[in-house]
Structure 1
Amino acid sequence: MELDMTKGSPLKLIGKFIIPVILGNIFQQLYNMADTIIVGRFLGVKALAAVGATGTIMFLILGFMMGITTGFTVLTAQRFGAGDIEGVKKSVGNGAMLAIVITAILTVVSVWGMDMILSIMNTPDDIFVMSKQYIVIICLGMPCTIFYNLLASYLRAVGNSKSPLYFLIIAAVLNIVLDLFLILVIPMGVAGAAAATVISQGVAGVCCLIYIIKKVPLLCIRKEHWKLDYHCCMNQLSIGIPMAFQFSITAVGTMLIQAALNMFGSTVVAAYTAAGKVEQIVTQPLAAMGITMATYCAQNRGVNDIGRIRKGVRIANVMNAIYSVAVFAIVINILPHAIRLFVSGDITQVLEYAETYIKICGIFFTPLGMIFIFRNVLQGCGFSFMPMMGGVVELACRVVAAFIAVHYYSYVGVCLGNASAWLITGTFLGVAYLFVMRKLTRRLGEEETAAA
């Protein structure tokens, strides 16, 4: 069911849209979390470290594709907000064609260069083979992942955030079942966990496609829409490529942090991995707020209602601050129990390193939420340069932190890499938002004056 976010109470619309997105994001995280829990408990700490050591590579590769496909759907949301139905269909077909081409290229390149990437990241010798097995299968399954994410993004662009949730629930349950089957019944090791993730994403994508064909005629395209249109390409690439590079730049920074972390051995990598999974789960509402604001602002940008955009952003930031403070207090108390999900036996050493990470990074959940909000607001309004520069700022912070951590052999320095990046980048994007909104308001005023 479509949701027009250009009319009605912004608070109610944001609340209605965000709840399914939060749940959907959590179930999305359950893919990797189920892998790490089952791998850690049944295959051991080294296998857990092997999966964890590939996390930043997955973020680099899949983040690039998710960034570019999300950028493609901004145009869809803007045209939906403006009531341009034919424009919606044209943007869907054009975006699908671009996604097919880029996915094919990136799949080949990522598989071909994986040995070099793992070596550059100082992946420990005792987990190198397992890490490669896991990440190569994930890369080969990239078409399945992009298939689901592109279709889910199109549904969200027209205000439908519930249907992608339902399909993710199905896929998350399937993923857990397949994890157990491919690891315990058919002893495929970490390769089984990767295969389970890919198959589950593919099923979610098929469910999305069937739903769109049967229930969302707005997104159903005809033969004439399956072609590349120059103006659509320029619009979608001008937003999608900077969004993809923003993800990639951020991922390079996290890879540097991971490379520094790998010096401390597989036990520390496992602890960092487990703590990172907990952090990712509890911060999903912040990521969901970003997705919500991208759709909200893109639709309202379609009708040039800047005042309504500003009001929505204020509401989002208040919600972010309240949630960030509350969840930090909660996660500190539940962490010992959460770590036991990942590691069996004596967890004393693993817990010590995991608590250090959460205590340092949890204080900065609010600026992390600001990154999600302001980045997506700017992208939803069609401004992609500043969010990309925000990625550059994140990269710079993590480069500095990685060098300090290596120089002083400091695990605390590794943890400060994320915290410092969130604080400085959140501030940068907040200032960028104020600048862009003033510029946009002035431009629209000049256009109205010229039209009069």
Structure 2
Amino acid sequence: MSKALNFTEGKVFSPLIKFIVPILLALFLQSMYGAVDLLVVGQFGNAADVSAVSTGSQVMTTITVVITGLTMGVTILIGQKLGEGQPKEAGYAVGSGLCIFAILAIIITVFGISLAGPISKFMHAPAEAFDKTVDYVRICSGGAIFIVGYNIIGGIFRGLGDSKTPLITVTIACISNIIGDLIFVAVFNMGVAGVAYATVIAQAISVVLSLFIIKRRGLPFEFSPKTSIKFHKGITSKILKYGTPIALQDGLVHLSFLVIMIIGNSMGVVASAGIGVAEKLVGFIMLIPMAFSQGSSAFVAQNYGAKKYERAKKVLLYSISSSLFCGAIMFYITFFHGYILAGIFSTDTEVILASWDYLKAYAIDCLFTAIMFSMVGFFNGCGKTTFVMIQGIVGAFLVRIPVSYMMSKIVPVSLFNVGLATPISTFVQVILCGIYFIFISKQLSNTKVEDVVIDNIACIDSVK
């Protein structure tokens, strides 16, 4: 039987970094799925192929982040239950989570396959790339069960403090995806459909491998398929309580990026391909703050469950400082040398220049997301996911979408100006997070005082 890591004792910084590094590598390799797809069609296809893959993968990414958001409900609850010393409840969290996501997989499959055409139309996919975009969305939706399965299993491992196992499985899946892309596209000339099939097959391999590892190692608490896999009263509602706001926030945030993609698609196939390439690069650029967000959530969850609030705040401090240091480096590389990065995914000079223009705005965002993502991870670990949802919606719909739309109306239209909507919205979210952190710090301080009083009363009673 495997053993869950204890984050409530000992040092903070070094265990945090050791936990986050495998998460970062796993996120990197997961991002390679779409990146390799785009890279292969960029080398063996044309601008229409690049546009189709970038638009279709953006849709599937939005679906994936919603799933990942929901799995955070499982991650947080497992971490809190282990911190509280209730392993049986942690097992129930796993069982209830599996039931929730089984239903979700069916819904995504049915709607994704049947609505691939309307979705592509909504995305304003260029005429040259429309049919290929439909094929990509339809094929990937057919493999939704593997996308969902991978994310729920990853959420369970993170809740246990295990970030290394998902790294192993995603590494093998990424290698499988690269091999599949080269075979289907370079050898059999299947184009966009080929990279979609390769992605689904790679996800399936990852899920099967993860299940094999779980069966061999076991879980650090009692888990029986007959008694654990069902909708446990109280547990199911808590998973949805924690996960739904995160999923809704992440989904709506990515919906705002879809709106920007729609704006780019309406500007022509070059702008569409340029934004598509940039978005793939952004997926890598933002990996470090994303890793700190996920890692600190699991770390904070255990300490919050153990009522070690000051230790949880230390996690936030280390997370922000480390992420901000890395963000400054990414700013320099992206802003001044973004054309080199864009050239990795396309040989078309116009597409490269369009992509670099858009990337310059994201370079600025590297500094703000280092702070915002770490604070979101802290709030998620504390179970304050409703606020996370609210600040995300404010940033997406009250700032990012309106600003990007207004920028698209300024003549001459600049992808840099359109992209500025993102760092502006993140800056607003940082301010909101800072205000809420002050508020929650006071709450935690009052709770700590109350706990001390209760403990003292208990001691006096025991003496009597």
Deviation at 1:369, TM superposition (A): 2.0
- 1:318-346 Cα distance to aligned partner (Å, 9 max, x none): 112111111222334553333232123xx
For 1:235 and 1:95, locate their aligned partners in 2 and report how far apart those are by CA, in whole Å. 10
**Aligned 8 A contact 2:74 2:155 in 1:** no
Residue 136 of structure 2 contacts residue 192 of structure 2 at CA under 8 Å; is this kept in 1? yes
The answer as to 2:150 corresponding to 1:148 is yes
Q: Distance in 1 between matches of 2:204 and 2:371?
A: 32
Alignment of 1:339-418 (within 5 A): 339-344=342-347, 347-395=348-396, 396-408=398-410, 410=413, 411-418=415-422
Shift of 1:112: 2.7
In 1, the alpha carbon distance for the partners of 2:387 and 2:331 equals 29
Aligned equivalent of 2:300: 297
Amino acid at match of 1:138: C
Would you say 1:6 and 2:22 are equivalent positions? no
Partner of 1:432: 436
Q: Deviations over 1:383-440 (max 9, x none)?
A: 1111001221222212212321343252333211222222212222232223223223
Contact 1:148/1:206 (<8 A) preserved: no
**Distance (Å, rounded) in 1 between the aligned partners of 2:261 and 2:185:** 26
Larger CA deviation: 30-39 vs 254-263: 254-263
Residue 362 (structure 1) shift: 0.5
By how many angstroms is 1:377 displaced?
1.2
Distance 2:437 2:56 in 1: 33
- Matched to 2:262, the amino acid is A
Q: Across the two proteins, how many residue pairs are aligned to each other?
A: 450
Cα distance between partner residues in 2 of 1:404 and 1:15: 41
Q: CA deviation at 1:50?
A: 1.0
Superposition map of 1:173-192 within 5 A:
173-192=175-194
Cα distance, 1:23 vs structure 2: 0.8
Q: Secondary structure, in 3 states, of the residue corresponding to 2:5? A: coil
- Among 60, 70, 73, the alignment partner of 1:71 is 73
Correspondences of 1:5-84 after superposition (within 5 Å): 5-84=7-86
Say if 1:401 and 1:413, in contact at 8 Å, map to a contact too: no
What SS does the aligned partner of 1:363 have? helix
Deviation for aligned residue 1:261: 1.2
**Distance in 1 separating the partners of 2:359 and 2:298:** 31
The alpha-carbon deviation at position 447 of structure 1 amounts to 4.8
- Cα 1:100–1:401 change in 2 (3 A) is same
The gaps in structure 2 that reach 5 residues or longer are 458-464
**Residues 149-177 of structure 1, C-alpha deviations (whole Å, 9 max, x = no match):** 11111111111111111111111111000
Structure 1 residue 298, shift from structure 2 partner: 0.6
Please, which moves more after superposition, 294-303 or 120-129? 120-129
CA–CA separation in structure 2 for the residues paired with 1:377 and 1:362: 24
CA distance in 2, matches of 1:37, 1:253: 25
- 77-86 or 23-32, which moves further after superposition? 77-86
Measure how far apart 1:119 and its partner are: 1.9
Q: Is the 8 A contact 2:327 2:367 kept in 1?
A: yes
Match of 2:220 in 1: 218
Q: With structure 1 as the length reference, what TM-score do the two structures score?
A: 0.95
Identity %: 24
Q: How far has the Cα of 1:225 moved from its partner? A: 0.7
Shift of the 446–15 alpha-carbon distance from structure 1 to 2, 3 Å rule, reads same
- Is this contact kept in 2: 1:212–1:219, CA < 8 A? no
Partner residue in 1 for 2:321: 318
Q: Displacement of 1:25 after TM fit?
A: 0.8
TM-score by length of 2: 0.93
State the alpha-carbon separation in 1 of the partners of residues 153 and 215 from structure 2. 11
Alpha-carbon distance, 1:313 to partner: 0.6
Q: Letter of the aligned partner of 1:326 in structure 2?
A: I
Q: Distance in 1 between matches of 2:266 and 2:100?
A: 39
Superposition RMSD on alpha carbons, in Å? 1.8
User: In 1, are the aligned partners of 2:56 and 2:133 still within 8 Å (CA)?
Assistant: yes
- 1:280 aligned residue (283, 291, 308): 283
> Which residues of structure 1 form unaligned runs of 5+?
none
For 1:354, the aligned partner's letter is S
More moved, 165-174 vs 358-367: 358-367
| 2:334 paired with 1:307 | no
Give 3-state SS (helix, strand or coil) of 1:54's partner: helix
**Residue identity in the other structure for 1:318:** S
Describe how 1:67-216 pairs up with structure 2 within 5 A: 67-216=69-218
- Structure 1's 393 and 210: CA in aligned 2 closer, same or farther, altered over 3 A? same
Contact 1:88 1:218 in 2 (8 A): no
